[in-house]
């Protein structure tokens, strides 16, 4: 497996709160976390930018927020997708239906996505990848908008959310129906996104984990997962944070964020990675790595 199996470890919700910011930075400095995804309207997003500047080895992407969060643009410009306070819907299903069927909503989503990209770029940080809060970036309308923006602004990589259901169920059969439903939905969305990204000459990891056990990525889970990683590039996304945290308790009360932080800094996890010969990389390295893997293996990895 040595030098064939690569792992990106991404911390989502960078900018959500000081505690989430501190958890991501701690997991980067003392653990295996390589990347973070910045919410540019999160309550602590400015602090997250300063922390990223102070930790230049941390690869930072944009965590596009179109549900359960606030907009960059003022609400009078987004009357079809936000309330009077600039808040998006808390219900991703209803938001997704609106974005799909309403022409006016789609146009406002386009302008808001552009505004979020431009706010990120205005920080001076290198925008290494794009993904979405609650994986909203996989929505067909949003995905197409983001790929166009990637081409316009030279953004090289995107998360493609598609997880191996067999590996998930081998670990834990709880919530089987929910996991199966997620697998069906995201496999179709991922197939579409990969075709679009490939046509646009944008890059993405080969596979991903973190979807079916979102908020539950503890040490036991990682020790199960690591030996099952395949040749190519895998992204693991997670949500580390110190607790207590009012924002975490408000939005994700069932997430075990402190356990995720402990797993990312676990000596057992790091030793297992070393023993298996897994190479921990970042989204910043992915374009060059993808080119080398494609040259060596052709389409085998994807």
pLDDT for residue 134 is more than 60: yes
Query: Is it the case that residue 279 has pLDDT exceeding 50?
Result: yes
Position 174 pLDDT exceeds 80: yes
* Those residues with Cβ within 8 angstroms of residue 203's Cβ, 6 or more apart along the chain or in another chain: 156, 157, 158, 197, 286, 287, 290
Note the pLDDT of residue 28: 98
As a whole number of angstroms, the distance between CA 133 and CA 139 comes to 11
162 lies in some domain: yes
- pLDDT computed for residue 300 by the predictor: 47
Interacting residues of 124 by C-beta distance below 8 A, sequence separation 6+: 53
Whether 59 is in a domain gets the answer yes
Res. 298: pLDDT tops 80: no
Q: What is the pLDDT of residues 37-53, one digit of tens each?
A: 999 999 999 999 999 99
Question: What confidence category does residue 1 fall into, taking pLDDT thresholds of 50, 70 and 90?
Answer: very low
Gyration radius (Cα) of the chain, Å: 18
Return the CATH number at 111. 3.20.20.370
Write the pLDDT tens digit of every residue in 237-269.
999 999 999 999 999 999 999 999 999 999 999
- Token pair, residue 51, equals 């922390």
Decide if 214 is inside a domain.
Answer: yes
Judged against a pLDDT cut of 80, whether residue 299 lies above it is answered with no
Question: In the predicted model, what is the mean pLDDT of residues 132-145?
Answer: 97
The pLDDT value given to residue 292:
86
In a domain, 140, yes or no: yes
Q: Per the structure block, which two tokens stand in for 126?
A: 């290198």
Residue 38 host element (H or E): strand 35-38
Q: Evaluate whether 257 touches 248 at the Cβ level (below 8 Å).
A: yes
232 lies in some domain: yes
| C-alpha span between 28 and 10 (Å, rounded) | 10
> Is 281 part of a structural domain of the chain?
yes
Whether 50 is covered by a domain: the verdict is yes
Q: What is the pLDDT of residue 129?
A: 98
Given this model, what pLDDT does residue 294 score? 80
* Residue 3 predicted with pLDDT over 80: no
Number of domains in the chain: 1
The domain containing residue 225 runs over which residues? 5-297
Q: Flag whether 302 is in a domain.
A: no
Whether this model's pTM surpasses 0.85: yes
Confidence label for 4 from pLDDT (cuts 50, 70 and 90): confident
Mean pLDDT of the chain: 95
Cα–Cα dist 236/279, whole Å: 13
């Amino acid at each position: 497996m040595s030098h064939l199996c690569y792992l990106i470890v991404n911390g989502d919700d960078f900018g959500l709160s000081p505690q989430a910011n501190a958890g991501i930075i701690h997991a980067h400095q003392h653990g295996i976390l390589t990347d973070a995804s910045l919410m540019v309207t999160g309550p602590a997003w400015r602090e997250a930018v300063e922390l990223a500047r102070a930790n230049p080895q941390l690869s930072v992407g944009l965590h596009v927020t179109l549900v359960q969060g606030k907009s960059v643009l003022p609400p009078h410009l987004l009357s079809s997708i936000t309330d009077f306070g600039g808040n998006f819907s808390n219900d991703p299903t209803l938001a997704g239906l609106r974005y799909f069927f309403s022409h006016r909503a789609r146009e406002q989503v386009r302008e808001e996505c552009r505004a979020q990209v431009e706010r990120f770029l205005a920080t001076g940080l290198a925008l290494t990848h794009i993904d979405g809060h609650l994986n909203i970036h996989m929505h067909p309308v949003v995905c197409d908008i983001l790929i166009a923006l990637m081409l316009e602004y030279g953004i090289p990589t995107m998360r493609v959310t598609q997880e191996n259901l067999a590996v998930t169920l081998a670990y834990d059969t709880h919530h089987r129906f929910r996991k199966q439903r997620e697998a069906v939905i995201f496999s179709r969305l991922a197939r579409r996104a990969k075709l679009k990204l490939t046509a646009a000459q944008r890059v993405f990891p080969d596979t991903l984990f973190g979807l079916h056990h979102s908020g539950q990525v503890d040490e036991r889970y990682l020790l199960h997962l690591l030996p099952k990683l395949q040749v190519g590039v895998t992204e693991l996304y997670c949500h580390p944070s110190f607790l207590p945290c009012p924002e975490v308790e408000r939005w994700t009360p069932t997430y075990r964020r402190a356990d995720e932080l402990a797993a990312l800094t676990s000596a057992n996890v790091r030793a297992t990675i070393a023993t298996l010969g897994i190479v921990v990389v970042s989204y910043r390295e992915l374009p060059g790595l993808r080119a080398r893997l494609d040259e060596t293996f052709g389409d085998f990895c994807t």
